[in-house]
């Protein structure tokens, strides 16, 4: 008898249709890597030794990661460890939040393109619908259209979660706190507002852009942060969820028991010491200073258009113009992207297909030396 097994017929249909998260690193892995908004200056940890023999690696890690959460309490100024959840990067937290609040095949999330791709990927994995309400992209301002969001919520009563990103990726722009408040106060919405603050430490402190402390007033707010960017620890995979203790409890009940491994835990605990937090702040300032230098050094190159957005994170979003230099061009931007990666040893990210980002490349701010090389190679790529 022939085996009746047919893989396609037993996979969940939404998984079969899935378009996975794709990144420039799928295609290019070497050269100067300015594609993923990592911290080009390196990790903030200096000369720290991992005492693996003292880590008791034969034991499971602390399921609650109390020591790390205690450090987060003082760092982020919240009342107790009960306001914190730790995940395997923010990416695990995005998936977890969708699984907790959205019924597959029934509920939806609302996103505001152009935005971070993983919200849609996780929604698709969980068979959860997506409502798009684009940002106001005029003149690269990249702000929320609160009335349209409110309309979108009325028309789609099954929306359970709104994902906002501040500073945004790929927009590099902090959202108006008043607008976030308007959404949180929407009397028609019985759901969760997630504010993804992956890049928050790059924003000047005086702008007071974080809404993390608002979790004490708004029981439906979840703020996500990460050690992948400002702390230069993308490799250890540590994301932070900040919310009302009732929501944190749900997240803890849903996660895998020992999601944060002991090696990650040891490094993160050290990274969150008061001295290392100060180092992190200094490095963020240095990266922002390099960002200004980078923008002014490439702005005069022939073929470079406008810089879009507020430049509030560790990257820039820049238009590449058509051959005549009249308007932003996806064809031009894609060919610069390919030439940089394949002939000139620099990997950046093509973002021209994102709403409001026609002809755009997103470029992570590198070290001073990397930015000088970038300028030179970009000039060559623009001429080709």
For tokens 């990103």, name the residue: 165
C-beta of 121 vs 374, nearer to ligand PLP: 121
Alpha-carbon distance of 241 to 89, in angstroms, equals 10
- Please report, to the nearest 10 degrees, the dihedral formed by the alpha carbons of residues 366, 228, 198, 76 taken in order: -120
Shortest CB 116 distance to ligand PLP, Å: 4
Shortest CB 196 distance to ligand PLP, Å: 5
Shortest CB 211 distance to ligand PLP, Å: 15
Q: Name the residue with the smallest CB distance to ligand PLP.
A: 89
Cα R_g (the chain), whole angstroms: 21
C-beta of 89 vs 309, nearer to ligand PLP: 89
Alpha-carbon distance of 245 to 85, in angstroms, equals 9
Alpha-carbon distance of 90 to 220, in angstroms, equals 18
Show the tokens assigned to 63: 């399921």
C-beta of 169 vs 243, nearer to ligand PLP: 169
- Please report, to the nearest 10 degrees, the dihedral formed by the alpha carbons of residues 311, 199, 19, 320 taken in order: 10
Alpha-carbon distance of 126 to 114, in angstroms, equals 21
C-beta of 146 vs 228, nearer to ligand PLP: 228
Shortest CB 166 distance to ligand PLP, Å: 9
Q: What residues make contact with ligand PLP under the rule CB under 6 A?
A: 37, 89-91, 116, 165, 169, 196, 198, 226, 228, 234, 239
Shortest CB 95 distance to ligand PLP, Å: 10
- Whether residue 320 contacts residue 307, with contact meaning beta carbons closer than 8 Å, is answered with no
Shortest CB 331 distance to ligand PLP, Å: 26
- Whether residue 315 contacts residue 230, with contact meaning beta carbons closer than 8 Å, is answered with no
C-beta of 222 vs 381, nearer to ligand PLP: 222
* Residue 274: closest CA among 80, 83, 74, 77: 74
For tokens 């929306």, name the residue: 159
* Residue 320 dihedral angles phi and psi, to the nearest 5°: -105, 130
Three-state SS for 320-379 is EECCCCCCECHHHHHHHHHHHHHCCCEECEECCCCCCCCCEEEEECCCHHHHHHHHHHHH
Shortest CB 226 distance to ligand PLP, Å: 3
Helices (H), 53-104: 66-76, 89-101
Shortest CB 8 distance to ligand PLP, Å: 30
With 0-12 CB in 10 A as exposed, 13-18 as middle and 19+ as buried, what is 150? middle
- Whether residue 34 contacts residue 40, with contact meaning beta carbons closer than 8 Å, is answered with yes
Alpha-carbon distance of 97 to 99, in angstroms, equals 5
Shortest CB 228 distance to ligand PLP, Å: 3
Name the β-bridge partners of 328: 321
Q: What is the DSSP letter of 234?
A: G
Shortest CB 105 distance to ligand PLP, Å: 26
């Amino acid at each position: 008898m022939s085996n009746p097994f047919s893989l396609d017929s037993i996979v969940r249909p939404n998984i079969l249709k899935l378009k996975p998260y794709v990144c420039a690193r799928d295609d290019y892995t070497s050269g100067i890597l300015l594609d993923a908004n990592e911290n080009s200056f390196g990790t903030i940890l200096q000369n720290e030794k991992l005492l693996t023999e003292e880590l008791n690696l034969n034991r499971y890690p602390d399921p609650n990661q109390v020591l790390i959460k205690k450090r987060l309490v003082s760092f982020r100024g919240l009342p107790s460890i009960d306001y914190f959840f730790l995940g395997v990067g923010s990416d695990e937290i995005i998936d977890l939040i969708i699984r907790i609040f959205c019924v597959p095949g029934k509920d939806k999330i609302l996103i505001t393109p152009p935005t971070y791709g993983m919200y849609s990927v996780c929604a698709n994995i969980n068979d959860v619908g997506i409502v798009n309400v684009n940002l106001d992209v005029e003149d690269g301002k990249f702000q929320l259209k609160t009335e349209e969001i409110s309309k979108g919520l009325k028309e789609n009563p099954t929306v359970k979660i709104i994902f906002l990103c501040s500073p945004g990726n790929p927009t590099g722009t902090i959202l108006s706190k008043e607008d976030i408040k308007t959404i949180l106060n929407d009397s028609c919405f019985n759901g969760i507002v997630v504010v993804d603050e992956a890049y928050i430490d790059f924003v000047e402190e005086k702008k007071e852009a974080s809404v993390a402390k608002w979790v004490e007033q708004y029981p439906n707010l979840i703020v996500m942060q990460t050690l992948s960017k400002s702390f230069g620890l993308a490799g250890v995979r540590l994301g932070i969820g900040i919310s009302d203790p009732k929501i944190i409890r749900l997240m803890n009940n849903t996660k895998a028991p020992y999601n944060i491994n002991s090696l990650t835990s040891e490094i993160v605990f050290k990274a969150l010491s008061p001295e290392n937090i100060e180092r992190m702040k200094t490095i963020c300032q240095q990266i922002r200073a390099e960002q200004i230098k980078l923008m002014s050094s490439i702005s005069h190159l022939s073929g470079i258009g406008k810089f879009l957005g507020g430049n509030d994170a560790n990257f820039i979003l820049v238009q590449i113009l058509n051959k005549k230099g009249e308007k932003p061009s996806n064809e031009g931007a894609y060919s610069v992207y390919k030439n940089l990666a394949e002939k000139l040893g620099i990997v950046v990210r093509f973002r021209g297909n994102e709403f409001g980002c026609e002809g755009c490349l997103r470029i992570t701010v590198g070290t001073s030396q990397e930015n000088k090389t970038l300028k030179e190679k970009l000039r060559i790529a623009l001429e080709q």
